[in-house]
Structure 1
């Protein structure tokens, strides 16, 4: 039963990608579906992300204001989301670099064209107060759980490397996010490396973040990325810039008003109780504007050779070193600044 649960996510992802790539080979290069003079439509697939600016724009008709129709669909699992994007039933997806790198190795041609948010202070190692774990070194010989091939998994590997440890020094177990929460609540799991939306549930249940383990501490920010195929971006740049104009309008609103931020997250992904408030309190001004992403001096700049390319390089180097990827990809192909540089103009 454990082996089945441990491998379920990875097997599902590979199967979804294989099916989707076969389907996309039979489809066209993509497009907004708008004729001349018509309002373009963008179908956005997302899961448990913290893109409060996107949710606010969707909830308050800002996309319509900026001349684009957006259909948002929430997915319960990463493999299903990526399958929809690669297979052509979604135009834009919101997820992390590791899943994109895996998809591209399977034959997809996906690129990050914008970043909605940075959750670096909450992608971290979560433990129970009585676990006896106060640093990453305290994991030696102990069990730590995460979700395979997600940003959380890669951050764990980077944290181990930074501490002079290897995956062999700990017992890594893989669960889907729901399994992690259930296992933590039951007391089966004492240490979990996870991203923010799930981490908020751990904190709500009394967990603590281990000092020095956040992705910010590791120098690899946990970004929430808007991703589409290279062809789709090329063919629909104007529509995507209208999309970003609406998100940009929402960004200062949710960053500056706690109540609005919390409401947008609760309605967007259904966080209960104090979980959205926990995220806000630990993530001051987490949503990002296109002007920041187009700035070559920004640590998350999408410009060629910029900050985000360096972040991506670190992640794929770790994935390649440990055999998650078969060979090192050219990360310059994973990022484009063409959309953010024209947003709002």
Structure 2
């Protein structure tokens, strides 16, 4: 789930000196000897990593990247939490769940916000979330669409106890709904396309109704950030160069991302409005402490409150150092 950014072409790799807090520019570097294993899964805001690989932007920015695609988003979360990979593409909600379980992680980049590509899709005759009472709803437990479902139920004055939750991986949940085995499903693009193949189906809630609730990030283990800041910077630089290339080469970029998502280019274009790619400035604004849903510290607090209230976590995690904006700040404007 989900649940990208747009901007700058970078010609140099920035070297970050953690101890002094200073940055210095170097000439374009050869690919680093330290390999970064980067995980991502099926979400439009993360498919630009596939573009970065195919266009050679990792090497151009001096980073040696092993890009690892996970068919199961949950598997990618577990891989980062256990140190099997160095970095992962994941939501704020799921990062907080990992941190509450003791994982040491750092968010270094906001890829995007989900603005409609996470949906609660229901069968014909179900016209609102309130109509889900007593119905079978498939969703991947503990992930962001489970969170979206709980938010939507709460707004309709319902709880999870008012439905029959069917726990399934997102791809299986969408397939089960399309086959008529459940009454509704919580899913993210591109799996929403599978779910909507069911005749008469419709979205009764989506992430656009909960602004800022589902931001998506590049998340590293804290140890890797401490030991390899230059590689982290190279990956952040790569991101902004990639999304600029996508903006300037929309057709070829869409073909690459659609292929990775297993959909047609035309179908992939329907996801554009539902995933808002963050610019560098939007990243800086999000990392700045504030009191609105656009600020990550505020959104993290709201998510934790909800997770505590629903029993998804048992105690409030310590978030000191989780949000690390050094690398976005070091990207040239």
- Matching residue of 1:56: 51
Contact kept? 1:114, 1:290, Cα under 8 Å: no
Contact kept? 1:99, 1:149, Cα under 8 Å: yes
Contact kept? 2:190, 2:261, Cα under 8 Å: no
Contact kept? 1:112, 1:228, Cα under 8 Å: yes
- Matching residue of 1:323: 311
- Matching residue of 1:27: none
Q: Is 2:256 aligned against 1:264?
A: yes
Contact kept? 2:178, 2:196, Cα under 8 Å: no
- Matching residue of 1:337: 325
Displacement of 1:93 in angstroms is 0.7
Q: Would you tell me which structure has more helix in proportion to its own residues?
A: 1
The one-character-per-residue Cα deviations of 1:42-101 (angstroms, maximum 9, x if unpaired) are 210112122233221111001211221221011222343234323333111112233322
Q: What is the correspondence of 1:161-172 to structure 2 with a 5 Å cutoff? A: 161-172=154-165
The one-character-per-residue Cα deviations of 1:308-338 (angstroms, maximum 9, x if unpaired) are 2222222222111111101122345432212
Contact kept? 2:92, 2:214, Cα under 8 Å: no
Q: What is the correspondence of 1:62-211 to structure 2 with a 5 Å cutoff? A: 62-128=57-123, 130=124, 132-205=125-198, 207-210=201-204
Q: Which secondary structure state, in structure 1, belongs to the residue aligned with residue 165 of structure 2? A: strand
Aligned in 2, Cα 1:261/1:126: closer, same or farther, shift over 3 Å?
farther
Give the Cα–Cα distance (whole angstroms) in 2 for the partners of residues 250 and 205 of structure 1: 35
Aligned in 2, Cα 1:54/1:38: closer, same or farther, shift over 3 Å?
closer
What TM-score do the two structures reach when normalised by structure 2? 0.80
Aligned in 2, Cα 1:108/1:64: closer, same or farther, shift over 3 Å?
same
2:301 to 295, 313, 321: 313
Q: Is 2:240 aligned against 1:239?
A: no
Unaligned runs of 5+ in 1: 1-35
Contact kept? 1:146, 1:152, Cα under 8 Å: yes
Contact kept? 1:240, 1:339, Cα under 8 Å: yes
Displacement of 1:261 in angstroms is 4.1
Equivalent pairs, count = 299
Give the Cα–Cα distance (whole angstroms) in 1 for the partners of residues 121 and 129 of structure 2: 11
What TM-score do the two structures reach when normalised by structure 1? 0.78
Give the Cα–Cα distance (whole angstroms) in 1 for the partners of residues 52 and 145 of structure 2: 27
Unaligned runs of 5+ in 2: 1-28
The one-character-per-residue Cα deviations of 1:202-226 (angstroms, maximum 9, x if unpaired) are 235554222xx22221233433211
- The CA RMSD over aligned residues, in Å, is 2.5
Give the Cα–Cα distance (whole angstroms) in 2 for the partners of residues 271 and 309 of structure 1: 35
Q: Would you tell me which structure has more strand in proportion to its own residues?
A: 2
